[in-house]
C-alpha cells in the first residue's frame, strides 16, 4: 500500500511528462497532468482505458473527435482512443491508464 498527496505533487512540463508518472505497473499507470492558461496537450493514440479526474481548473478533452468539457470534481472515462486537450484557465488532472486485456 502507498499513499500519495496529489495536491502536494510537483507537476513537470510536457517535455518532462515521464517524471509525472508516480505509479507504474504493466497493467496500470497513474500520473499528474497540468496545463497552464491556454495550454494544450497534442493528440496521442492511447491503447489503454483512460480516466481523467480534474483536481483544479477546467479542460476541454477531445476523444476521437468528440468534445467533453470537464471542471473541478468531474471525471472522464474512455476506452482506447485518440485524445487531446486544451485549457483556457489552467487545469490539474489525475490521469489513470488501465491496460486493455489482450485476448
Going from N- to C-terminal start, the domains of the chain cover 14-99
Can you read off the three cell numbers belonging to residue 16?
Answer: 518532462
Longest dimension (CA), the chain: 42
pTM above 0.85, yes or no: yes
Q: Are 80 and 98 in contact (CB under 8 A)?
A: no
Of 51, 55, 57, 17, nearest to 36 (Cα)? 57
Query: Which CATH number is associated with domain 14-99?
Result: 2.60.120.10
pLDDT tens by residue, 21-79: 999 999 999 999 999 999 999 999 999 999 999 999 999 999 999 999 999 999 999 99
Amino acid at each position: 500500500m502507498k499513499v500519495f498527496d496529489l495536491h502536494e505533487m510537483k507537476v513537470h512540463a510536457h517535455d518532462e511528462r515521464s517524471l509525472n508518472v508516480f505509479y507504474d505497473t504493466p497493467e496500470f499507470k497513474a500520473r499528474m497532468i497540468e496545463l497552464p492558461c491556454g495550454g494544450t496537450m497534442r493528440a496521442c493514440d492511447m491503447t489503454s482505458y483512460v480516466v481523467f479526474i480534474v483536481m483544479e481548473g477546467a479542460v476541454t478533452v477531445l476523444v476521437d473527435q468528440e468534445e467533453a468539457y470537464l471542471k473541478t470534481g468531474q471525471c472522464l472515462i474512455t476506452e482506447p482512443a485518440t485524445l487531446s486537450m486544451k485549457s483556457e484557465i489552467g487545469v490539474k488532472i489525475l490521469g489513470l491508464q488501465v491496460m486493455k486485456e489482450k485476448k
